[in-house]
Amino acid sequence: MDEATGKSIHNGEPVVIKFARLGRTSFRSIRDNRDYLKGRQCGWLYMSRIASLKEFAFMTALYKRGFPTPTPYEGNRHAICMSLVKAYPLVNVKGLTNPETVYHMLIEQIIKFAEHGLVHGDFNEFNLMCADDETITVIDFP
């Protein structure tokens, strides 16, 4: 809800709420491998909150710079509210009409990340959404 206008931020469109649950299976390794947790003793819910807020900030910055991401609406505690992407995970796509074009779009995204000094640490077929028109949306920002 936009506090200034009192209107819905997403205009009645379906949204996705992503809940972070860090540490569910490998609590110690997550604490050791996340740069923002080094040296801290904290629980999984606090770690999930920090990860979620960082992901929301990252997605918002990318979205504002024209990267193909879901529209980030709000981040709170260990949840992120974003637009629903009307697409399929690339891992589930059995065939493409223009695989060469899609390949070039993916390479262009990697280059665009690099030009902004970024590396998407999990750029794979599980974190790329492919729409019916074969446009790609990047999700899940570690």
Residues with active-site annotation: 122
Task: Return all residues near 41 (Cβ < 8 A) that are at least 6 apart.
Answer: none
What's the farthest any 2 CA atoms get from each other in the chain? 50
Side by side, which strands form the sheet with 79-83? 15-19, 79-83, 72-76
Q: Which residue has the tokens 């990697």?
A: 110
